[in-house]
Structure 1
Protein backbone atom coordinates (compact mmCIF):
# COMPACT_ATOMS: atom_id res chain seq x y z
CA UNK A 1 0.00 0.00 0.00
CA UNK A 2 2.82 2.41 0.87
CA UNK A 3 4.52 1.59 -2.43
CA UNK A 4 1.31 2.42 -4.31
CA UNK A 5 0.92 5.70 -2.43
CA UNK A 6 4.50 6.68 -3.26
CA UNK A 7 3.90 5.77 -6.91
CA UNK A 8 0.75 7.94 -7.06
CA UNK A 9 2.58 10.82 -5.35
CA UNK A 10 5.43 10.62 -7.87
CA UNK A 11 2.92 10.58 -10.76
CA UNK A 12 1.29 13.73 -9.32
CA UNK A 13 4.71 15.40 -9.07
CA UNK A 14 5.41 14.47 -12.72
CA UNK A 15 2.10 16.04 -13.70
CA UNK A 16 3.03 19.30 -12.03
CA UNK A 17 6.20 19.40 -14.12
CA UNK A 18 4.69 18.38 -17.47
CA UNK A 19 1.94 20.93 -17.84
CA UNK A 20 -0.93 19.23 -16.03
CA UNK A 21 -1.00 15.84 -17.76
CA UNK A 22 -1.82 13.39 -14.95
CA UNK A 23 -1.18 9.73 -15.78
CA UNK A 24 -2.41 7.35 -13.09
CA UNK A 25 -2.89 4.44 -15.49
CA UNK A 26 -2.08 0.92 -14.32
CA UNK A 27 -1.75 1.96 -10.66
CA UNK A 28 -4.16 -0.70 -9.31
CA UNK A 29 -6.44 2.02 -7.94
CA UNK A 30 -9.81 0.97 -6.53
CA UNK A 31 -10.72 4.62 -6.06
CA UNK A 32 -9.24 8.02 -6.79
CA UNK A 33 -7.21 8.77 -3.65
CA UNK A 34 -7.97 11.98 -1.76
CA UNK A 35 -4.24 12.66 -1.82
CA UNK A 36 -4.49 13.27 -5.58
CA UNK A 37 -6.88 16.16 -5.03
CA UNK A 38 -4.59 17.57 -2.34
CA UNK A 39 -1.37 17.17 -4.33
CA UNK A 40 -2.90 18.60 -7.50
CA UNK A 41 -4.74 21.52 -5.86
CA UNK A 42 -2.40 24.16 -7.34
CA UNK A 43 -1.93 22.51 -10.73
CA UNK A 44 -4.49 23.11 -13.49
CA UNK A 45 -5.04 19.65 -14.93
CA UNK A 46 -5.47 19.42 -18.71
CA UNK A 47 -5.56 15.65 -19.21
CA UNK A 48 -6.15 12.73 -16.87
CA UNK A 49 -5.48 9.07 -17.60
CA UNK A 50 -7.02 6.66 -15.09
CA UNK A 51 -7.08 3.69 -17.46
CA UNK A 52 -6.20 0.14 -16.49
CA UNK A 53 -7.21 0.38 -12.85
CA UNK A 54 -9.96 -1.21 -10.76
CA UNK A 55 -12.20 1.85 -10.53
CA UNK A 56 -15.94 1.34 -10.29
CA UNK A 57 -16.64 5.08 -10.02
CA UNK A 58 -15.06 8.49 -9.82
CA UNK A 59 -16.10 10.80 -7.00
CA UNK A 60 -18.28 13.86 -7.70
CA UNK A 61 -15.47 16.13 -6.49
CA UNK A 62 -13.29 14.91 -9.38
CA UNK A 63 -15.27 17.04 -11.81
CA UNK A 64 -15.37 19.98 -9.41
CA UNK A 65 -11.61 19.94 -8.73
CA UNK A 66 -10.51 19.15 -12.29
CA UNK A 67 -13.11 21.12 -14.26
CA UNK A 68 -10.60 22.32 -16.89
CA UNK A 69 -9.51 18.93 -18.23
CA UNK A 70 -9.85 18.42 -21.97
CA UNK A 71 -9.22 14.65 -22.02
CA UNK A 72 -10.33 11.97 -19.56
CA UNK A 73 -9.38 8.33 -20.06
CA UNK A 74 -11.35 5.93 -17.86
CA UNK A 75 -10.91 2.89 -20.12
CA UNK A 76 -10.17 -0.62 -18.85
CA UNK A 77 -11.79 -0.23 -15.44
CA UNK A 78 -14.98 -1.58 -13.84
CA UNK A 79 -17.10 1.52 -14.19
CA UNK A 80 -20.85 1.47 -14.74
CA UNK A 81 -21.81 5.02 -13.79
CA UNK A 82 -20.52 8.58 -13.71
CA UNK A 83 -21.37 11.46 -11.39
CA UNK A 84 -23.77 14.14 -12.66
CA UNK A 85 -21.13 16.69 -11.64
CA UNK A 86 -19.09 15.63 -14.68
CA UNK A 87 -21.13 18.23 -16.59
CA UNK A 88 -18.98 20.82 -14.76
CA UNK A 89 -15.99 19.74 -16.87
CA UNK A 90 -16.61 22.65 -19.20
CA UNK A 91 -13.54 22.00 -21.39
CA UNK A 92 -13.80 18.21 -21.73
CA UNK A 93 -13.48 17.23 -25.40
CA UNK A 94 -12.45 13.54 -25.33
CA UNK A 95 -13.90 10.92 -23.00
CA UNK A 96 -12.80 7.29 -23.13
CA UNK A 97 -15.17 4.89 -21.36
CA UNK A 98 -14.18 1.83 -23.39
CA UNK A 99 -13.69 -1.60 -21.83
CA UNK A 100 -15.80 -0.98 -18.74
CA UNK A 101 -19.08 -2.33 -17.34
CA UNK A 102 -21.55 0.24 -18.64
CA UNK A 103 -25.02 -1.15 -19.37
CA UNK A 104 -26.41 2.33 -20.03
CA UNK A 105 -24.49 5.41 -20.97
CA UNK A 106 -24.94 8.21 -18.44
CA UNK A 107 -26.83 11.08 -20.06
CA UNK A 108 -24.39 13.56 -18.48
CA UNK A 109 -21.78 12.73 -21.15
CA UNK A 110 -24.04 14.08 -23.89
CA UNK A 111 -24.50 17.35 -21.98
CA UNK A 112 -20.79 18.16 -21.81
CA UNK A 113 -20.56 21.57 -23.52
CA UNK A 114 -17.40 20.90 -25.61
CA UNK A 115 -17.43 17.12 -26.03
CA UNK A 116 -16.08 16.06 -29.43
CA UNK A 117 -15.32 12.35 -28.99
CA UNK A 118 -16.85 9.64 -26.81
CA UNK A 119 -15.40 6.15 -26.85
CA UNK A 120 -17.80 3.65 -25.29
CA UNK A 121 -16.77 0.53 -27.16
CA UNK A 122 -16.51 -2.87 -25.46
CA UNK A 123 -19.10 -2.39 -22.74
CA UNK A 124 -22.49 -4.04 -22.17
CA UNK A 125 -24.68 -1.29 -23.61
CA UNK A 126 -27.93 -2.58 -25.03
CA UNK A 127 -30.22 0.40 -25.27
CA UNK A 128 -29.38 3.96 -26.15
CA UNK A 129 -31.33 7.18 -26.58
CA UNK A 130 -30.32 8.07 -30.14
CA UNK A 131 -31.89 11.52 -29.68
CA UNK A 132 -29.45 12.20 -26.83
CA UNK A 133 -26.52 11.41 -29.10
CA UNK A 134 -27.89 13.71 -31.80
CA UNK A 135 -28.55 16.54 -29.31
CA UNK A 136 -24.87 16.68 -28.31
CA UNK A 137 -24.11 19.71 -30.46
CA UNK A 138 -20.31 19.50 -30.44
CA UNK A 139 -20.00 15.70 -30.70
CA UNK A 140 -18.05 14.62 -33.80
CA UNK A 141 -17.12 11.00 -33.04
CA UNK A 142 -19.01 8.32 -31.11
CA UNK A 143 -17.53 4.83 -30.86
CA UNK A 144 -20.07 2.28 -29.65
CA UNK A 145 -18.57 -0.85 -31.25
CA UNK A 146 -18.66 -4.24 -29.54
CA UNK A 147 -21.79 -3.61 -27.48
CA UNK A 148 -24.92 -5.82 -27.50
CA UNK A 149 -27.16 -3.08 -28.89
CA UNK A 150 -30.85 -3.77 -29.40
CA UNK A 151 -32.03 -3.78 -33.03
CA UNK A 152 -33.82 -0.45 -32.40
CA UNK A 153 -30.71 1.26 -30.99
CA UNK A 154 -28.49 -0.18 -33.72
CA UNK A 155 -30.87 0.95 -36.43
CA UNK A 156 -31.21 4.43 -34.94
CA UNK A 157 -27.46 4.91 -34.63
CA UNK A 158 -26.94 3.64 -38.18
CA UNK A 159 -29.08 6.53 -39.41
CA UNK A 160 -27.18 9.29 -37.58
CA UNK A 161 -25.41 11.45 -40.15
CA UNK A 162 -24.30 14.61 -38.33
CA UNK A 163 -21.37 12.85 -36.65
CA UNK A 164 -19.10 9.84 -37.16
CA UNK A 165 -20.66 6.82 -35.39
CA UNK A 166 -18.53 3.69 -35.17
CA UNK A 167 -20.77 0.68 -34.74
CA UNK A 168 -20.27 -3.07 -35.06
CA UNK A 169 -22.25 -4.55 -37.96
CA UNK A 170 -25.36 -6.19 -36.57
CA UNK A 171 -25.73 -9.93 -36.87
CA UNK A 172 -29.20 -11.38 -36.78
CA UNK A 173 -29.85 -13.53 -33.72
CA UNK A 174 -31.04 -17.09 -34.29
CA UNK A 175 -34.40 -16.32 -32.71
CA UNK A 176 -34.91 -13.47 -35.20
CA UNK A 177 -34.49 -15.75 -38.21
CA UNK A 178 -38.01 -16.98 -38.87
CA UNK A 179 -36.93 -19.20 -41.76
CA UNK A 180 -35.44 -21.81 -39.42
Structure 2
Protein backbone atom coordinates (compact mmCIF):
# COMPACT_ATOMS: atom_id res chain seq x y z
CA UNK A 1 0.00 0.00 0.00
CA UNK A 2 1.36 3.43 -0.91
CA UNK A 3 1.97 6.03 1.81
CA UNK A 4 -1.13 7.71 3.18
CA UNK A 5 -0.29 11.33 2.39
CA UNK A 6 3.44 11.97 2.13
CA UNK A 7 3.99 13.22 -1.43
CA UNK A 8 0.34 14.21 -1.82
CA UNK A 9 0.75 17.48 0.08
CA UNK A 10 3.37 20.03 -0.95
CA UNK A 11 3.64 21.83 2.37
CA UNK A 12 5.27 19.18 4.52
CA UNK A 13 7.08 21.51 6.89
CA UNK A 14 5.85 21.84 10.44
CA UNK A 15 6.66 25.40 11.46
CA UNK A 16 6.61 25.15 15.24
CA UNK A 17 8.22 28.14 16.92
CA UNK A 18 9.78 27.10 20.23
CA UNK A 19 10.59 30.65 21.27
CA UNK A 20 8.25 32.73 23.43
CA UNK A 21 6.18 31.84 26.48
CA UNK A 22 4.87 28.51 27.66
CA UNK A 23 1.57 28.92 25.80
CA UNK A 24 3.32 28.20 22.53
CA UNK A 25 4.60 24.93 23.95
CA UNK A 26 1.08 24.04 25.10
CA UNK A 27 -0.36 24.79 21.65
CA UNK A 28 2.35 22.72 20.02
CA UNK A 29 1.68 19.82 22.36
CA UNK A 30 -2.06 20.02 21.65
CA UNK A 31 -1.47 20.01 17.88
CA UNK A 32 0.92 17.09 18.14
CA UNK A 33 -1.57 15.19 20.29
CA UNK A 34 -4.35 15.78 17.77
CA UNK A 35 -2.11 14.74 14.89
CA UNK A 36 -1.11 11.55 16.69
CA UNK A 37 -4.76 10.76 17.39
CA UNK A 38 -5.63 11.17 13.69
CA UNK A 39 -2.68 9.03 12.61
CA UNK A 40 -3.59 6.31 15.13
CA UNK A 41 -7.21 6.30 13.93
CA UNK A 42 -6.20 6.00 10.27
CA UNK A 43 -3.71 3.24 11.06
CA UNK A 44 -6.43 1.29 12.86
CA UNK A 45 -8.59 1.62 9.73
CA UNK A 46 -5.92 -0.01 7.62
CA UNK A 47 -4.15 3.03 6.16
CA UNK A 48 -0.35 3.38 6.29
CA UNK A 49 1.09 6.76 7.34
CA UNK A 50 4.60 7.87 6.42
CA UNK A 51 7.22 8.59 9.01
CA UNK A 52 7.36 12.33 8.37
CA UNK A 53 3.69 13.07 7.86
CA UNK A 54 2.55 16.42 6.53
CA UNK A 55 1.85 18.14 9.87
CA UNK A 56 -0.86 20.77 9.57
CA UNK A 57 -1.64 19.58 6.05
CA UNK A 58 -2.89 16.16 7.08
CA UNK A 59 -4.92 17.62 9.92
CA UNK A 60 -6.59 20.08 7.54
CA UNK A 61 -7.43 17.40 4.99
CA UNK A 62 -8.67 14.83 7.49
CA UNK A 63 -10.73 17.42 9.37
CA UNK A 64 -12.43 18.47 6.15
CA UNK A 65 -13.12 14.85 5.29
CA UNK A 66 -14.75 14.45 8.68
CA UNK A 67 -16.88 17.53 7.99
CA UNK A 68 -17.90 16.08 4.62
CA UNK A 69 -19.27 13.01 6.35
CA UNK A 70 -21.76 15.34 8.04
CA UNK A 71 -22.75 17.64 5.14
CA UNK A 72 -21.83 15.57 2.04
CA UNK A 73 -19.74 18.48 0.67
CA UNK A 74 -16.01 17.79 0.46
CA UNK A 75 -13.99 21.02 0.61
CA UNK A 76 -10.28 20.46 0.01
CA UNK A 77 -9.60 23.94 -1.34
CA UNK A 78 -6.34 25.68 -0.45
CA UNK A 79 -4.75 22.52 0.96
CA UNK A 80 -1.51 22.67 -1.09
CA UNK A 81 -2.38 19.36 -2.77
CA UNK A 82 -0.50 18.20 -5.85
CA UNK A 83 -3.03 15.39 -6.35
CA UNK A 84 -6.02 13.86 -4.59
CA UNK A 85 -4.52 11.76 -1.78
CA UNK A 86 -5.45 8.07 -1.73
CA UNK A 87 -6.38 8.55 1.91
CA UNK A 88 -9.26 10.80 0.87
CA UNK A 89 -10.87 7.94 -1.04
CA UNK A 90 -10.34 5.75 2.01
CA UNK A 91 -11.88 8.25 4.41
CA UNK A 92 -14.88 8.98 2.18
CA UNK A 93 -15.57 5.39 1.14
CA UNK A 94 -18.90 5.24 3.03
CA UNK A 95 -20.06 8.79 2.19
CA UNK A 96 -22.22 9.81 -0.77
CA UNK A 97 -20.84 13.21 -1.71
CA UNK A 98 -22.90 15.95 -3.34
CA UNK A 99 -20.02 18.27 -4.19
CA UNK A 100 -16.23 18.38 -4.23
CA UNK A 101 -14.07 21.53 -4.12
CA UNK A 102 -10.40 21.06 -5.05
CA UNK A 103 -9.76 24.69 -5.98
CA UNK A 104 -6.67 26.65 -5.05
CA UNK A 105 -4.22 23.76 -5.03
CA UNK A 106 -1.39 22.78 -7.39
CA UNK A 107 -3.07 19.70 -8.86
CA UNK A 108 -1.91 18.77 -12.38
CA UNK A 109 -4.29 15.90 -13.09
CA UNK A 110 -7.37 14.09 -11.86
CA UNK A 111 -7.06 10.27 -11.79
CA UNK A 112 -9.65 8.11 -13.58
CA UNK A 113 -10.72 6.51 -10.30
CA UNK A 114 -12.03 9.87 -9.07
CA UNK A 115 -15.20 9.36 -11.10
CA UNK A 116 -15.66 5.86 -9.69
CA UNK A 117 -15.29 6.93 -6.07
CA UNK A 118 -17.33 10.15 -6.30
CA UNK A 119 -19.78 9.32 -9.08
CA UNK A 120 -22.78 10.98 -7.40
CA UNK A 121 -21.44 14.53 -7.09
CA UNK A 122 -23.40 17.33 -8.79
CA UNK A 123 -20.75 20.06 -8.39
CA UNK A 124 -17.00 19.87 -9.00
CA UNK A 125 -14.65 22.82 -8.57
CA UNK A 126 -11.17 22.35 -10.06
CA UNK A 127 -10.37 26.04 -10.49
CA UNK A 128 -7.00 27.62 -9.72
CA UNK A 129 -4.87 24.56 -10.25
CA UNK A 130 -2.34 23.54 -12.92
CA UNK A 131 -4.41 21.19 -15.08
CA UNK A 132 -4.28 20.97 -18.87
CA UNK A 133 -6.52 17.95 -19.47
CA UNK A 134 -9.19 15.77 -17.92
CA UNK A 135 -9.50 11.97 -18.22
CA UNK A 136 -12.30 10.51 -20.34
CA UNK A 137 -13.41 8.50 -17.33
CA UNK A 138 -14.92 11.66 -15.84
CA UNK A 139 -17.85 11.06 -18.17
CA UNK A 140 -18.94 8.59 -15.49
CA UNK A 141 -19.89 11.59 -13.33
CA UNK A 142 -23.43 11.04 -14.51
CA UNK A 143 -25.01 13.46 -12.03
CA UNK A 144 -22.58 16.35 -12.50
CA UNK A 145 -24.36 19.65 -13.21
CA UNK A 146 -21.64 22.24 -12.56
CA UNK A 147 -17.95 22.02 -13.48
CA UNK A 148 -15.42 24.79 -12.83
CA UNK A 149 -12.04 24.43 -14.56
CA UNK A 150 -11.24 28.15 -14.64
CA UNK A 151 -7.75 29.51 -13.92
CA UNK A 152 -5.90 26.44 -15.17
CA UNK A 153 -3.72 25.70 -18.22
CA UNK A 154 -6.21 24.18 -20.67
CA UNK A 155 -5.37 24.80 -24.32
CA UNK A 156 -8.78 23.58 -25.45
CA UNK A 157 -12.05 22.46 -23.93
CA UNK A 158 -11.69 18.89 -22.64
CA UNK A 159 -13.80 16.62 -24.91
CA UNK A 160 -15.10 14.73 -21.89
CA UNK A 161 -17.20 17.69 -20.73
CA UNK A 162 -19.52 17.18 -23.70
CA UNK A 163 -20.10 13.59 -22.62
CA UNK A 164 -21.50 14.64 -19.25
CA UNK A 165 -25.20 14.34 -19.99
CA UNK A 166 -26.46 16.40 -17.04
CA UNK A 167 -23.82 19.15 -17.13
CA UNK A 168 -25.50 22.56 -17.15
CA UNK A 169 -22.70 25.00 -16.33
CA UNK A 170 -19.10 24.87 -17.54
CA UNK A 171 -16.73 27.58 -16.31
CA UNK A 172 -13.55 27.55 -18.39
CA UNK A 173 -12.56 31.20 -18.12
CA UNK A 174 -8.97 32.34 -17.65
CA UNK A 175 -7.20 29.45 -19.32
CA UNK A 176 -4.98 29.35 -22.43
CA UNK A 177 -7.67 28.31 -24.89
CA UNK A 178 -6.94 29.51 -28.42
CA UNK A 179 -9.16 27.32 -30.59
CA UNK A 180 -12.46 25.52 -30.06
CA UNK A 181 -13.59 22.31 -31.74
CA UNK A 182 -16.93 23.52 -33.07
CA UNK A 183 -18.11 19.99 -33.75
CA UNK A 184 -18.12 19.46 -29.98
CA UNK A 185 -20.26 22.54 -29.45
CA UNK A 186 -22.87 21.26 -31.89
CA UNK A 187 -24.17 18.59 -29.54
CA UNK A 188 -27.90 18.31 -28.98
CA UNK A 189 -28.08 15.49 -26.46
CA UNK A 190 -26.71 17.41 -23.49
CA UNK A 191 -28.11 19.74 -20.83
CA UNK A 192 -25.64 22.62 -21.20
CA UNK A 193 -27.01 26.04 -20.36
CA UNK A 194 -23.81 28.08 -20.00
CA UNK A 195 -20.19 27.85 -21.17
CA UNK A 196 -17.93 30.59 -19.80
CA UNK A 197 -14.94 31.22 -22.08
CA UNK A 198 -14.03 34.71 -20.92
CA UNK A 199 -10.39 35.76 -20.61
CA UNK A 200 -8.97 33.20 -23.01
CA UNK A 201 -6.59 34.13 -25.87
CA UNK A 202 -9.01 33.03 -28.60
CA UNK A 203 -7.97 33.64 -32.20
CA UNK A 204 -9.92 36.24 -34.14
CA UNK A 205 -11.64 33.65 -36.34
CA UNK A 206 -12.56 31.48 -33.37
CA UNK A 207 -13.91 34.47 -31.45
CA UNK A 208 -16.07 35.60 -34.38
CA UNK A 209 -17.51 32.13 -34.89
CA UNK A 210 -18.34 31.79 -31.21
CA UNK A 211 -20.00 35.20 -31.26
CA UNK A 212 -22.25 34.11 -34.10
CA UNK A 213 -22.70 30.50 -33.02
CA UNK A 214 -26.26 29.23 -32.91
CA UNK A 215 -26.26 26.72 -30.10
CA UNK A 216 -28.81 25.81 -27.46
CA UNK A 217 -26.76 27.27 -24.60
CA UNK A 218 -25.20 30.61 -23.71
CA UNK A 219 -21.53 31.27 -24.47
CA UNK A 220 -19.92 34.00 -22.38
CA UNK A 221 -17.02 35.84 -24.04
CA UNK A 222 -15.00 38.83 -22.90
CA UNK A 223 -14.11 41.59 -25.34
CA UNK A 224 -11.21 40.42 -27.43
CA UNK A 225 -8.12 42.60 -27.61
CA UNK A 226 -6.63 42.53 -31.09
CA UNK A 227 -2.92 41.94 -31.54
CA UNK A 228 -1.08 44.85 -33.15
CA UNK A 229 -0.23 42.84 -36.27
CA UNK A 230 -3.93 42.13 -36.97
CA UNK A 231 -4.48 45.73 -38.13
CA UNK A 232 -1.59 45.63 -40.59
CA UNK A 233 -2.27 45.39 -44.32
CA UNK A 234 -0.23 42.47 -45.54
TM-score range, shorter chain: over 0.9
Q: How is 1:19-168 mapped onto 2 (pairs within 5 angstroms)? A: 20-135=72-187, 137-161=190-214, 162-168=216-222
Larger radius of gyration: 2
Note the C-alpha offset of 1:171.
2.8
Note the C-alpha offset of 1:160.
2.6
Aligned counterparts of 1:6 and 1:17: Cα–Cα separation in 2: 17
2:69 counterpart of 1:16: yes
Other-structure match for 1:175 = 229
Note the C-alpha offset of 1:131.
2.6
| Farther-moved stretch of structure 1 (68-77 vs 158-167) | 158-167
Note the C-alpha offset of 1:178.
2.8
Aligned counterparts of 1:96 and 1:15: Cα–Cα separation in 2: 20
Point out where structure 1 has 5 or more consecutive residues left out of the alignment.
Answer: none
After TM superposition, the score normalised by the length of structure 1 is 0.95
Note the C-alpha offset of 1:170.
2.1
* Equivalenced residues, count: 179
What's the secondary structure of 1:5's corresponding residue? Answer: helix
After superposition, the CA RMSD in angstroms is: 1.4
Note the C-alpha offset of 1:133.
2.0
Structure number having the greater helix percentage: 2
Note the C-alpha offset of 1:105.
1.7
Point out where structure 2 has 5 or more consecutive residues left out of the alignment.
Answer: 1-53
Aligned counterparts of 1:65 and 1:156: Cα–Cα separation in 2: 38
After TM superposition, the score normalised by the length of structure 2 is 0.73
What's the secondary structure of 1:72's corresponding residue? Answer: strand
Judged with a 3 Å threshold, the aligned counterparts in structure 2 of structure 1 residues 35 and 171 are, in CA distance, closer, same or farther, namely same
Aligned counterparts of 2:111 and 2:221: Cα–Cα separation in 1: 30
